[in-house]
Amino acid sequence: MEETYLLNVEGVKKKILHGGQGELPKLQDGSKFTFHFQTLKDDFERTVIDDSREAGMPMEIIVGKMFKLEIWETLLSSMRIGEVAEFWCDAIHTGMYALVSRGMRRIAEGRDPLEGQKHRCGMGNMFDYHSTGYDDLDELQRTPQPLIFIMELFRVRGWQRWLPEREQLGQATQLLLLAQVEDPSAYKRDTWAMSKEEKLAAVPVLHSEGNRLVLRREFAQAAAKYQEAVICLRNLQAKEKPWEDGWLKLESLVTPLVLNYCQCQLELGEYYEVLEHTTELLQKHNDNAKAYFKRAKAHAAVWNEREAREDFQRVAHLDPSMAAAVKKELKQLGERMRKKHVEDRKRYQGLFQSSQGL
């Protein structure tokens, strides 16, 4: 079951990834949610910020105890036992996440979550201290932004039904619990729940599916496949040291996927999306002729003539085998720009004559 809809809360969207069982829990003060969560940035790579599975322990919230991140109680209240859901939350709900995450990370490290804090409200502590001690959380604290929370609710105490913690179950039982309302054989693990080996195995499959969709000219669907493959690889890269062998091997897999994604966006007319991702790619790999070629085409499409010509010239310099394609693109660019200049002159002349007649 997969369904996307808005919660009756401003700035929140919910997507059910796997359905739960029974009715919504009837909650009261003192009820306790036990769940796993993953927090991601709302960016192309869906960068992982926190993962309770990585920390090795589930999260617990007691209803009515003024948890700093109030929106989580609202999100969990919309879930059934065994449900896995993805929530997009606007920045109006995520401003306190850096402090909440700081405390959770300290607990996972065996440290006092309140170490160094004054006995003041969370917002007061945020202003008193310039750093959380974690670079990524400092960034969130400086620039609050929308976040994505993927939550799996597996127990609610203080209500008549709960599921045992998944860590105590065998793998087959875990899969059945996640697929309660579906045919278990149809269960498809989402990227966020995959192991390292599963992510590596998924990448060539997603790449192949994307290529198949491109041949059918289903570019939006193909782009989604390429993006999912990139997310798998970026999640694995986050555990490697940048520019060392493991990181570079994964980067070599990322680059063609990003280029394929950009080609789909060119076909869909999403030129600024192409400019963003090719520029980011070229900051790491400034000798990639294909990235320059796609960026040049995007510049040309949005009338950035100088930038387009510079990128096309770089392509011809880096890869002489593409010289013929560059020559063709430059000819088309020149024709389009001349036509635009003629149309602009006519338009300006018409405006001038109209103003003279007033």
pLDDT tens digits, one per residue of 23-40: 887 777 777 888 999 999
Give the residue among 283, 234, 281, 237 at the shortest CA–CA distance from 259. Answer: 281
**Is pLDDT above 70 for 145?**
yes
Whether residue 230 is contained in a domain is answered as yes
Helix residue ranges, H only, the chain? 52-55, 70-77, 91-94, 97-108, 122-128, 135-142, 171-178, 196-215, 219-237, 245-268, 271-284, 289-301, 305-318, 323-356
pLDDT tens-digit readout, 35-58? 999 999 999 889 999 998 887 778
Spatial separation of the C-alpha atoms in residues 196 and 313, rounded to whole Å: 41
Contact partners, residue 139, CB within 8 Å, separation at least 6:
none
Same domain, yes or no, for 17 and 96? yes
Whether residue 352 is contained in a domain is answered as no
Same domain, yes or no, for 73 and 214? no
Same domain, yes or no, for 19 and 93? yes
Task: Provide the whole-model pTM.
Answer: 0.59
DSSP state of 185: G
Same domain, yes or no, for 247 and 318? yes
Whether residue 86 is contained in a domain is answered as yes
Spatial separation of the C-alpha atoms in residues 87 and 90, rounded to whole Å: 10
**Residue 216: how many other CB atoms lie within 10 Å:** 9
Tokens matching residue 124 = 């007061």
Same domain, yes or no, for 268 and 329? yes
112-132 as b/e, with b when 16 or more CB fall inside 10 Å?
eeeeebeeeebeebbeeeeeb
Give the residue among 121, 131, 123, 118 at the shortest CA–CA distance from 96. Answer: 123
Domain total of the chain = 2
Give the residue among 343, 330, 345, 324 at the shortest CA–CA distance from 299. Answer: 330
**Is pLDDT above 60 for 177?**
no
Same domain, yes or no, for 8 and 153? yes
Q: Give Cα 117 to chain centroid, integer Å.
A: 32
Same domain, yes or no, for 280 and 212? yes
Domain containing residue 99 = 4-113+134-157
| 230 compared with 121, residue with greater pLDDT | 230
61-92 as b/e, with b when 16 or more CB fall inside 10 Å?
bebeeebebebbbbbbbbbbbbbbbbbbbbee
Looking at residue 335, its pLDDT comes to: 92
DSSP state of 183: -
Whether residue 30 is contained in a domain is answered as yes
Same domain, yes or no, for 150 and 227? no
Q: What is the CATH number of the domain that holds 231?
A: 1.25.40.10
Spatial separation of the C-alpha atoms in residues 265 and 297, rounded to whole Å: 11
DSSP state of 2: -
Whether residue 190 is contained in a domain is answered as no
pLDDT tens-digit readout, 233-248? 988 888 888 899 999 9
Q: What is the CATH number of the domain that holds 81?
A: 3.10.50.40
Looking at residue 53, its pLDDT comes to: 84
As a whole number, mean pLDDT of residues 165-171 equals 41
As a whole number, mean pLDDT of residues 210-218 equals 94
Contact partners, residue 334, CB within 8 Å, separation at least 6:
none
As a whole number, mean pLDDT of residues 166-187 equals 35
Whether residue 264 is contained in a domain is answered as yes
Residues 104 and 113 sit within 8 Å (Cβ to Cβ): yes
Same domain, yes or no, for 141 and 15? yes
Confidence of residue 120 (pLDDT cuts 50, 70, 90): very low
Give the residue among 169, 144, 148, 250 at the shortest CA–CA distance from 177. Answer: 169
Among 15-19, 276-280, 323-327, 354-358, the range scoring the smallest mean pLDDT is 354-358
Same domain, yes or no, for 152 and 228? no
Same domain, yes or no, for 324 and 204? yes
Q: Which residues pair with 84 in a beta bridge?
A: 18, 152
Whether residue 191 is contained in a domain is answered as no
Same domain, yes or no, for 24 and 80? yes
Burial (CB count within 10 angstroms: exposed 0-12, middle 13-18, buried 19+), residue 109 = exposed
Whether residue 170 is contained in a domain is answered as no
